[in-house]
A and B are shown apart, each in its own frame.
Chain A
């Protein structure tokens, strides 16, 4: 007689596509770093600034007034109106607050919704590596097929239309762009942006633009692909408060897209998340009131740190593409004959400096490490001294 319990236990309760997903490349590294004392970490992917006080105060005040309810699924209308004005002013794209903007729990949720809204099982999504650790996994979780395009240090991690065109197939559904880029700090030139827009139009593709680091652009001004002729109708523009306003823990992002796409994303959002936390939405409303001053102050500080860290790597003879935005540098450590992982572990062990192995951001990150400069200037300087000592020793052996 067959025992039902035996049958059940014989079957793995975890879905295959989840089971087969490798854990994040930075997870085990994080475990080791977090047990060590006196580590200077250049491994942090969030601002070291605290959210500006007037924004925190607005969140506190909303709690005092008892504003603790759900909001509309799309998010507070007054916040969507303020965002419509901000996106128009800064990114030069007009979205209707009524049906073209959706407030989400961070850009992470917005990206997940976008992918789930457009992917049918087996659809291919093109994205570029090295990139943020989540892209490939969440495409897979949405039953899509992640197709990577590798950018190279030799080209300044430039993404060209030709590189993308090579990987387009009849199953390609969308292009996922992230500039300024985590982890390389690379930007995208207007020329390449126009070429990629052409490509999207030719092949009838959707573009998902993760522009989370847009305001942290140090040379020139960021152009969003959504603002190019004919692109608004096929772009899902993603942006949020975490990086530019130092509001990571508030978990607040938003998506702007044509009504049918926002409607589709909203359908998933309303059945899963319902709405973004109202306290965070109230805080975001305040953030938009003094956006330019808050951001300018932080951007200037990041710019000085970028200059220091990039120039120091240069002086040490460690090649490093000068980042155009975000708060990361991605130096080339191939001359030391260690893998990214070994380099990072050895540096941590010998000098107590944490950097993230480049391979965490895709296989083509091998030979590189990511150093975040979202860390106090004094710590950056000390970390650079330790890296200098460490690499001098490596060069001798």
Chain B
């Protein structure tokens, strides 16, 4: 992967000035390359990684395995497109193995998610079965640890 993308994936808020210094380019070159990535759709957005467990809000997330029957034309794409239109669906992947689609779905409580599965997801033509797993705690998300452990500290000055 391009070094600029690697750095942006680590920290999208890094300034073009600092990125330029790290990569030996000018800030304008950095801005140009980011704009190009955005235009091509390589970079599709920027988001904060939030530890929801620290917030006093009603939010549950479930991971749902879905078996579907692929269509003669378009395979899994048509049904996947349709499912991904629901705002409850945060992420959607086509998988190998015992099921076909893996969904990350969020709602305000268990009932909310259960209703979505029962009323909207399971009733879609082509959906054969669903299996819902609720998330209890997030330890790591997007490569970021959600809790900082006591880190061993190095000597503050050493030769």
Contact = CB atoms under 8 A, between A and B. Distances in A.
18 contacts: A24-B159, A26-B157, A26-B158, A26-B159, A30-B156, A33-B156, A39-B156, A41-B157, A44-B155, A44-B156, A46-B155, A46-B158, A133-B159, A182-B159, A300-B3, A304-B3, A311-B21, A354-B157
A134 interface: yes
A360 B158 CA distance: 11
Contacts of B21: 307-308, 311-312
A30 B7 CA distance: 33
How big is the A interface, by class? Answer: 20 to 34
Contacts of A30: 155-158
A197 interface: no
B143 interface: no
Given A48-B154, A304-B23, A307-B23, A381 B159 contact: no
B159 A304 contact: no
B24 interface: yes
Contact of B154 (A46, A133, A360, A381): A46
Contacts of B156: 30, 33-34, 39, 41, 43-44, 354
B18 interface: yes
A285 interface: no
Interface in B144-159: 154-159
Nearest to A182: B159
B157 A356 contact: yes
Interface residues of B, number: 13
Contacts of A311: 21
B33 to A, nearest CB: 16
Contacts of B155: 30, 34, 44, 46
A34 B158 CA distance: 11
Interface of A: 24, 26, 29-30, 33-34, 39, 41, 43-46, 48, 132-134, 182, 300, 304-305, 307-308, 311-312, 354, 356, 360, 381
B22 interface: yes
Nearest to B152: A50
Interface string B4-48: 000100000000001001111000000000000000000000000
Given A48-B154, A304-B7, A304-B23, 8 more contacts: A30-B156, A34-B156, A44-B155, A44-B157, A182-B159, A307-B21, A354-B157, A381-B18
A133 B159 CA distance: 7
A48 B158 CA distance: 12
B7 to A, nearest CB: 7
Nearest to B25: A307
Contact of A43 (B23, B24, B157): B157
Contacts of B24: 307
Contacts of B157: 26, 29-30, 33-34, 41, 43-44, 354, 356
Contacts of A26: 157-159
